[in-house]
Amino acid sequence: MGLAKKAEEAAVEEAEEAKEAKEAKEREERMRRLEERVKACKKCELWSLRRNAVVGEGSLLADVMFVGEAPGYYEDLKGRPFVGKAGKVLDELLASVHLERKDVYICNVLKCRPPKNRDPKPEEIESCTPFLDEQIEIIQPKVIATLGNYSLQYIFSKFNMKAEKISKIHGRIFTVETLNGTLKIIPLYHPAVAIYNSAMREVLFEDFKVLPKLLSEQHNKRERG
Ligand code: URA
Ligand code: SF4
């Protein structure tokens, strides 16, 4: 390759990096403002019991977003998603496909813990999901992996799809066109099911294998431009 061509490529790469850095900064600022609003939120009764709201964490430039159900005991204590037993399973699942938390974004349908980890109520989901909608808007993920039934139901309805039973559709890839481009949705079982059930654990590990496939497709598409 000639010197001029090399210099040109280096300049293009530099410009792309600068653009990405600017985008990351803008997203950080939007997420910071969202976090402030979540921490002050009293839209449903769960606010009065929380020690910490759990907004989410990970890369704001992530291609993959995981959406769980709601914070549990340890999440409420620490203010971070999936840091208890289910979180340990999630970490193992990520590692099995060579992903780390910092490569993805992880959040939940509800940002505050329901008492005794009871199921989310419809009115709580309705009050809280505008925050999740905003997170999706900020991050613009290429892939959303739903963890468990509440996440599946919400994400499918958001994109006008009818969710069949998780036992039927887990691990399958659903494609929707959105204003921000093509989005793949993968329904997964909740990692908590794997804690005491080794058969389910195997199913989850098997289903997770679709992620690297999708991500390499994504990567190739970007390389081709
Ligand atoms: N279960 C969830 O759905 N989310 C968490 O953050 C932790 C456990
Ligand atoms: Fe607000 Fe959501 Fe917490 Fe309810 S669960 S108080 S809607 S942040």
pLDDT at 225: 52
Half-sphere exposure (Cβ direction) of 49: Cα atoms closer than 13 Å: 14
Number of domains in the chain: 1
| Backbone φ and ψ of 208, nearest 5° | -60, -20
End-to-end CA distance of the chain: 21
Average pLDDT rounded to a whole number, residues 42-52: 98
Q: What residues are in contact with ligand 2 under a 6 Å CB criterion?
A: 38, 41-44, 46-47, 53, 110-112, 124, 127-128
Confidence of residue 217 (pLDDT cuts 50, 70, 90): confident
CA distance 92 to 195: 12
pTM for this one? 0.94
Res. 1: pLDDT tops 60: yes
Mutate to test the pocket of ligand 2, among 42, 46, 121, 132 (most ligand atoms within 8 A of CB): 46
Q: Helix-strand-coil percent breakdown of the chain, rounded to 5?
A: 55, 15, 30
Supply 179's token pair: 């204003």
CATH number, residue 68: 3.40.470.10
Residue whose CA is at the smallest distance from ligand 2 atom 4: 44
Residue with tokens 């992530």: 62
Residue whose CA is at the smallest distance from ligand 2 atom 5: 112
What mean pLDDT is reported for the chain? 95
- Contact by Cβ (8 Å): 201, 89: yes
Residue with tokens 């908590």: 192
Average pLDDT rounded to a whole number, residues 40-67: 98
CA distance 71 to 98: 25
Residue with tokens 């769980």: 68
The predicted-structure confidence for 107-158, as pLDDT tens digits, reads as follows 999 999 999 999 999 999 999 999 999 999 999 999 999 999 999 999 999 9
CA distance 146 to 65: 8
Domain that holds residue 200: 3-224
Strand, coil or helix: 148 = coil
pLDDT at 221: 66
How many angstroms does the Cα of residue 158 sit away from the middle of ligand 2? 18
